[in-house]
Every structure is written in structure tokens, then in C-alpha cells.
A and B are shown apart, each in its own frame.
Chain A
């Protein structure tokens, strides 16, 4: 038995505690926005927030998760876009889109820690998120734009 809080909702899941969080989210909770890309923490497609920190859910045993989990579905939705999602649309970032939920969750954790990251800090934070469509340039632009929006909103 696993007890998890995901996107503000408590769940009890009947699954092996060794099962990576990714598969609990996708196959047991039906939250398919979080993607499988490599299973070895090498691509970032599975990135979610646990206790506000970006983690690779493909290598995190669900039984080890103590803090609340936020997935892309909890981060924002089509009716209530987050600042990052809005910037992603504004700057037309996504191509195939498969890496993008992970990119956005990684960026969310970056901006929570560092509201005004330099380009170099963005690069360092995002280098674990592979994009085979090569959208990096627009990802960087969107992060900068969202950071600006969020700083303004806070004023």
C-alpha cells in the first residue's frame, strides 16, 4: 500500500513500493502528462515536483515519496494556464511536445528557487532535459519571459 498526495489529492495505491513514481502516476493514477523517455534519469521527460523540488520520477521509488507531488496536470491546465505554460504558448515552444511537460516542471522548480536566472543558470538547470526536436532556444526565451511575468505579478 502506498500513500501519496498528488496535485493536492490524497491517494492510496496498491502497488510495490519499489515501483518508480512515474509508473504509479501514469498507470495507476492515470496522470499521463508525465512522460517516460529513458528510465535512467538521463532525459528529464518524467520530471515532477516532490516537495517543490524537481525530481526524475522514473528512478524514484514511489515508496520513498514523503512530500506532496505536483505533476504537469497540477501545475496548470488549459483553463488556468501557469505563467510558464502561457509563455510556452506565446513563444510557440513545443514541437512534438513529448519532452515539454518535463521541461516546464524543471523550469518551475528553477524559477521557484531563482526568480531571475541568468542564461547560464537557465542552461545549467535545464541541461538534464533532452529535447530531440531541438526546441532549446525557445525554451530559454519562454523561461526568461515567464520569469519576468512572475516577478511583475509579485510586485
Chain B
């Protein structure tokens, strides 16, 4: 069993209340210590929740999940930097579900990087930490992992280093001030190397410092550089273990089928034909579907096709048109929020002569996450203890859901969070945990490897909701003078909260209007209102969440208003935006793309800017007319992340986010007929491929006073930049996505 496997197993064998084993410290210790969830075995020592040492060296425990964003390497680098570890020797494992790994950045502002430039860390972060800790939020999402960990994990590394040095001082009889660390060892003035492995046992007995000294950036060897990711060798050799790759003796394989009308109950089931298929072990009924367990995945999938089931009606309007009518109805209701309300936009618009009021309506469709790896999990129930392997973004909730599903307590479940074949927000749900637990519980003692078909995955997502925006504006010579932007969509945050906590907190829904109300534009009279639509189609967190639709609405609108005012779209932004980092990225992308220069004939260019998750991002997309249709040829992005801890990874995430957004803008669309999703597999829900994805250039700026995450900010501006390029090329304003409904793409 893997080292962490042993650690996690021990953790949960002792019950849900972890017994404090090692020494926990970090910024939270000043207020209330959190138990170290790591349970070291013989020969292992843990110095805090992030550092585990055994005879072969140091393993960094990452509190967040690796779904492609490279976070394991970046988090490990924070600890490795302070401990002076050799990068190639560093290993990383995902930590067990534990409150010690709460994500403090989810509810709070970013970490000021000027802490690194001489000012002490401020207390806003500390205050923000309290809420998620109380809720036990161990969540990978919201582009927060690095923001949350930046202080905690460096401090953990620094404190571990100081205790190791104290242990070395005692052993060598040398004043600690004369010791230094290098390459995973403490070095004495005589050049004697005391390896951390040999000091760990002593170090664990030493009270760690409360305020360890952190290296100033000038001493950094690892941070600020592009490091080779620790997970890539296993991913290119097929040895990385995804949840569906776990292989155990006596294993069975399974797949599930859920009601094709989302949330509708199963009325009847006839499994006779399926049970007659050789190799089928059993069929497990759920309220809204069933799972087939067989001797291999193919047999399970084939047998599932032979089960005849009848399903109830969908709890939402059955056709896409009717769903959008329902969304539009929300405009008639009282707004849930008016989070931007500068001046008196309504009065200005009423007073304006009718011919001078610009009006537009924008629409975006439902979207699937479409992770490369369909939903999967492996589980085995032995002696009333469930062991599960699953890619997930919320380990505590995931484990608890699995436990509840089969009447166990959380302490009776061991969850291994594996690497994920993409998350994008889809794996912040617990549906898979419930199914895998119930399947495993039906065949005690035998491991069950569950794999959804692609069709099941595509038709049973928690979708990015469809959304509508209605804009009215009055334009002057400098651009918009008065704007009313109203946004209607089902509420992701309310549905998500209901699933996770059982209730939806009242109050303004920020996610519904993020990307519209919070942009650094100075418009004298500006109102943004959010209207919650009541549609029961499951919706969830799709890479960049509300920014994914509002970035499109806001930035298409700004492009239109620039044209109305007779201004260049970039020029207009610079007139309306004072925020220096935002201006910086706008100017940078204009420079990179040669914005002002003549366009090659047959090409068009679009610009967009969105500040999301703390990162201002400006993009330019180039579109060309080819004989066979439109082709996205090139794109440029400039982003300010405050501090680029790993520039190579920042670049990769910006490009990844843009391709994700561009794919959706060109061809992404989930539609409904008879209550069922009409897209089933990649042929009807495709994405950009190597031959039609643009070459993308990225420039990273570091002027912001706060650190920003980078998993999501690439996505929002890509969609409006493309639509604006389409207008530039064709003169046609398309206010609805996807664009391939109106134009052929090559």
C-alpha cells in the first residue's frame, strides 16, 4: 500500500476524531490548534500536517487535489523552498480528508504579496480562515489553492526546518546560529551533513517555533521559477493511477445508469435480459437509476443497455425553449442583488431620448464540464469499513456522503483522493461517492471499479446554467455614460449549498453577477442586477462559474458600446479603467498583438478584459476566413498574478483556460428535449482539437499587490474576445453562444 494509504488508513481506523499524533502548527496555531491528521508508521515522522519524513526522504502532503492544474508541484515547492530540499527528490501525496486542510482563501480576499515585500501579513486572511475551518471546507476550487497555501505551507516548511536545525544543534553540540541547511540536510560549520531523515525523530520532540523566519524572495531558489512538475513522469508512462485504474484481487467492474430526465425517479425496472448476460454479477437499484456489476467494464456497460426502465417526468420544463422562457421570467421578479449601483442609471435611461438608448439581449447555453476522464470511483467494503479511491475536489464532504449512503460513520470510511482526469468543478459533487459506496456495499469483500460511460457523463452533469442578460445604455463621446445590465440565470451557489449543506443561505448571490458587477470600469451611472431563475436542471461550478457567462455579457456589451461611441475597444477601456494592474494587462496585450496595426486581410480581431479570482486578464483573439469556414488562428493573453510562483505553469493554465472557453464559445451547447439532454458524446459535444486550436502567447505581469490563482481566469475573456473578433471580421454582431449555430468553423 502507498505510504499515504497507510497513513490514511490509520487515521480512520482510530475513528472520526483524529488523535493528535504529530505537532500541528501554522498560522492557525496561534488561535486553536488543529489536529495533525497524519498518522506516521514505524520509521516515519510527521513534523506537521504537510511534512512527512521517512528513511527515503521528505514527502510533502498536499491539501488540495491535482486535476491537471499542477497544484501539487506548486504546493510542494512552497515547503521545499523553506526546507531547502532538492527539487528532484521531493515527493508529493494528497492528504487525507481532514479539517486541518481547510481552505481559508475560499471566503476571503487574496494574500497580499507585499507581505513578501516587507509589510507583515495582514489579518484579513486570518479572519477569513475562520469560517471555512468551522465548516470543514477542504475544497479545491475557486482558483484559491495557492492563495490559501502561500503562507501556511511556507510556514510549515520553515518551522520544520527550524526544528530540524535545533535537533542538529543538540546532536552536533554546535550553536544553531552556525548551522545552515542545503539539499535536505543540516550542514555544520565543519561541513558535516546531517540528513533530515536522521534528525526527524529528534525534531518531532521539539516545540516548533510560532513565527519561523520565512526566506525573503531574494533568497528563493525554487519559487518564481518554472519547475518540472512532479506528476508528469507518471502521466506520460501510463503509471499515474486514476480512480478507475485501481486494480485489486477479486475485483468487479461496474457502471451506472441514472434517469435520463435529471432528478426524475425510476418508475419501473426490468432487468431479466441484463441479468442473463454471462458475467453479470448483480444489478443494484437506486431511486433514480441502477448500477450493473459484472466481471469487466464492457460486460457491465453492455448489460446496462439491456435493462428496461421507465422514468418519471422531469422536474423542469422539458424543452430548451421552455427552460429559457422560464429563465427570462426571472427578469419580472424582484432582483436578488444590485451589487453595482453607481449613480442613478435608471433615471438617466428614462430621461434619455428613445433613439439614444442602446439595447441588447445576450444568451448563453447550458454547458457540460466534459472532463476527459468520465466519472469513476473504486471502492471496497470489508468488515464494515469502506475504502474508496476517487478523484474529488471536496474530500470531507465526499467521504461523509459515502458513509451516509451505506449507514456508516465517517470514521468508517477511508478516502484516497487520486489524481483526476480533469475536474473543472465537476468533481466538487458527491454523486459518485454515493453510487460507488452503494455498489461496493452490495458485494461486501469485493472491490468494485465503477466507470461511467461518456454518454452517462455528458447527460448527468451539474451544468453551467443557461443565462440571459439584458442591457440598456446611453453612450457619450468617451463611451458608456449610463448602463443597466440585468442578468437572469438559475443560481449555482444556492443549488450547490443545498447539496452540500442542506440549505441555501439567503442574501445576494455573488456568483450570479460576478464578472459584471465587480469589474474595474468607471461608468458614472451603472446598475448591475441579478435575477434568480427557478429551473430545477442540476447546475454546478463550471470553470470560472459566474464569470463564464458574465464575462461574455459584459465584454460583448463593452465592445458594442465602443463601436457606438466610435471608439477603438482598447482605447475605450483605457478611458474607463483606472486600476493600474488592469491597465497594465490591457496595454500589454495590445502591444503583444500589435493591436493598432492593420489587420491582415481576411482576418478579424477581438479584445476582451475580465478580472476574475483576483487576476486581471486581457486577451486578443484573431479569427480568419478560410475557404472551409472560420478558423481561430492566434490569440494573446496578458495577466497579472501578483507573483508568479511557477511561470511555466501559469502559462499552461492560461492557455488551458482559454481553450476551454474558446471551445465552449465555438461549439459548446447542452440542450433538452422531452426532459433529456440531447448531447451524448464528443461527436455532439466536441471541443477544439490540435488543428483548430490557436497558437497562444502569454505574458505574465507581477505588479498586483495580491496573489491571484490561475486555474480559471483564462476562461472568461476568451469567449467575448472571440465573439468580438467575429464582429470585426464579418460585421455581424452575434449575441448568442455557441457561434457555430450561425457560422461554420473550420
Please list the residues of chain A having a beta carbon within 8 angstroms of any beta carbon in chain B. Answer: 15-16, 19-20, 23, 26-28, 30-40, 42-43, 45, 71-73, 76-78, 81, 85, 88-89, 92-101, 104, 122-124, 126-140
Q: A35 touching B298 by the CB < 8 A rule? A: no
| A95 lies within 8 A of B691 (CB) | no
Q: Which of A37, A81, A92, A100 contacts B374 (CB 8 A)?
A: A37
Residues from chain B with a CB closer than 8 A to the CB of A72 are: 237-238
List of B residues within 8 angstroms of A43 by Cβ: 372, 682
21 contacts between A and B (CB under 8 A): A27-B296, A33-B239, A35-B373, A36-B374, A37-B372, A39-B301, A81-B233, A85-B236, A94-B236, A96-B421, A96-B422, A97-B419, A98-B371, A123-B690, A129-B690, A130-B689, A132-B660, A132-B687, A133-B372, A134-B659, A136-B659
Question: Which A residues lie within 8 Å of B126 (CB)?
Answer: none
Contact yes or no, A27 B298, CB < 8 A: yes
A101 adjacent to B238 (CB under 8 Å): yes
Q: Is the CB of A99 within 8 A of B297?
A: no
Q: Tell me whether B175 is interfacial, beta carbon within 8 Å.
A: no
**Chain A neighbourhood of B241, CB < 8 A:** 32
Whose C-beta in chain A lies nearest to the C-beta of B453? Answer: A39
A42: which B residues are within 8 A, CB to CB?
681-683
Binds A, one of B37-45, B470-478, B650-658: B650-658
Task: Give CA–CA (A87, B299) in the complex, Å.
Answer: 38
**Are A98 and B298 in contact, CB atoms less than 8 angstroms apart?**
no
Given A96-B372, A132-B372, A132-B687, check contact A32 B235 (CB 8 Å).
no
B67 and A76 contacting across the interface, CB-CB below 8 Å:
no
How far apart are the CA atoms of A77 and B237 in the complex, in Å? 5
Residues of chain B within 8 A of A95, CB atoms compared = 68-70, 652, 656
Chain B residues whose CB sits within 8 angstroms of the CB of A71 once the complex forms: 238
Contact B238 A32 (CB under 8 A): yes
Residue of B nearest to A125 (CB): B690
Q: A123-B691, A130-B687, A139-B690 are in contact. Are A98 and B242 (CB under 8 A)?
A: yes
B238:A96 contact, CB within 8 angstroms: no
CB distance from B159 to the nearest CB of A (A): 31
Residue of B nearest to A15 (CB): B296
When chains A and B are docked, how far (Å) is the Cα of A133 from the Cα of B663?
Answer: 11
Q: How far, in Å, is A9 (CB) from chain B's closest CB?
A: 16
Please provide the chain B residues from 466 to 525 with a CB less than 8 Å away from any CB of chain A in the complex: none
Contact indicator B689/A127 (Cβ below 8 Å): yes
Measured between beta carbons, the chain B residues less than 8 angstroms from A122 are: 690
The reply to whether the CB of B247 lies closer than 8 angstroms to some CB of chain A is yes
> Contacting B660 at CB < 8 Å: which of A28, A35, A93, A134?
A134
Task: Find chain A residues with CB under 8 A from B691 CB.
Answer: 123-124, 126-127
Shortest CB–CB separation between residue B523 and chain A, in angstroms? Answer: 33
Also in contact, A37 and B373, with CB within 8 A (given A98-B242, A123-B690):
yes
Q: Which residues of B contact A30 (CB under 8 A)?
A: 247
Contact for B232 among A32, A97, A126, CB less than 8 A:
A97
Q: A19, A26, A134: which contacts B656 (Cβ < 8 A)?
A: A134
Chain B residues, Cβ within 8 Å of A35? 242, 372-373, 421
Contacts of A28 in B (CB 8 A): 296
Interface status of B245 (Cβ within 8 A of chain A):
yes
Smallest Cβ distance from B682 to chain A, in angstroms? 4
Excluding A37-B373, A136-B693, 19 further A-B contacts by CB distance (< 8 Å) are A20-B298, A23-B296, A32-B238, A36-B451, A37-B372, A38-B682, A39-B453, A40-B681, A43-B372, A43-B682, A72-B238, A73-B237, A81-B236, A94-B231, A96-B68, A97-B68, A128-B689, A132-B370, A139-B690
A96 to B236, CA, bound (A): 11
Complex interface: chain A residues within 8 A of B658 (CB): 134
Rounded to whole Å, the gap between the CB of A73 and the closest CB of chain B is 5
Residues of B within 8 A of A139 (CB): 690
Closest to A90 in B: B228
In this complex, how many residues of chain B approach chain A with their Cβ under 8 Å: the count is 67
Bound-complex Cα distance A111 to B625 (A): 31
* B240 interface hit (Cβ, 8 Å): yes
- Compute how far the CA of A137 lies from the CA of B372 in the bound complex, rounded to whole angstroms: 18
Q: Contacts of B244 on A, CB cut-off 8 Å? A: 32, 36
- A153 CB, nearest partner CB in chain B, Å: 19
- Bound Cα distance A145, B690 (Å): 17
* Cβ contacts under 8 Å, B253 to chain A: 27
Which residues in window 687-732 of B have CB below 8 A to A? 687-693, 695-696
- Nearest CB in chain A: distance from B147 CB, A: 20
Q: A27-B296, A38-B454, A139-B690 are in contact. Are A76 and B232 (CB under 8 A)?
A: no
Q: Is B21 an interface residue (CB 8 A)?
A: no
Question: Across the interface, do A33 and B237 meet the contact criterion of CB distance under 8 Å?
Answer: yes
B235 to A19, Cβ gap below 8 A?
no
Q: What is the CA–CA distance of A37 and B232 in the complex, to the nearest angstrom?
A: 20
Binary A-proximity of B439-458 (CB < 8 A = 1, otherwise 0): 00000000001010110000
Are A138 and B652 interface neighbours, CB within 8 A? yes
Q: Does B229 contact A (CB under 8 A)?
A: yes
> Which chain B positions have C-beta within 8 A of A100?
235-236
Residue of A nearest to B240 (CB): A97
> Which residues of chain B (414-456) have a CB below 8 Å from chain A?
419-424, 449, 451, 453-454
B136 within 8 A of A: no
B660 to chain A: closest residue by CB: A134
Q: How far is the CA of A89 from the CA of B335 in the complex (A)?
A: 51
Closest chain A CB from B519 CB (angstroms): 25
Q: Which residues of A contact B239 (CB under 8 A)?
A: 33, 73, 77-78
Asked if A93 and B297 make an inter-chain contact with CB atoms under 8 angstroms apart, the answer reads no
Check if B297 sits within 8 Å of A26, measured CB to CB.
yes
Measured between alpha carbons, how far is A131 from B656 in the docked complex, in Å? 10
- B728 CB, min distance to chain A CBs, angstroms: 24
Cα(A40)–Cα(B301), bound, Å: 13
Contacts of B240 in A (CB 8 A): 97
Give the nearest-CB partner of B694 in chain A: A137
Do A78 and B247 touch (CB < 8 A)?
no
Q: In the complex, what residues of B have CB within 8 A of residue A39's CB?
A: 301, 453-454, 681
Residues of A within 8 A of B123 (CB): none
- Name the residue in A28, A36, A89 with the highest tally of chain B Cβ atoms < 10 Å from its Cβ: A36
The residue on A at minimum CB distance from B238 is A33
Closest B residue, CB atoms, query A96? B68
CB distance from A69 to the nearest CB of B (A): 14
Q: What residues of chain B lie closer than 8 Å to A93, measured between beta carbons?
A: 232, 236
Identify B228's interface contact among A76, A77, A92, A104, CB under 8 A: A92
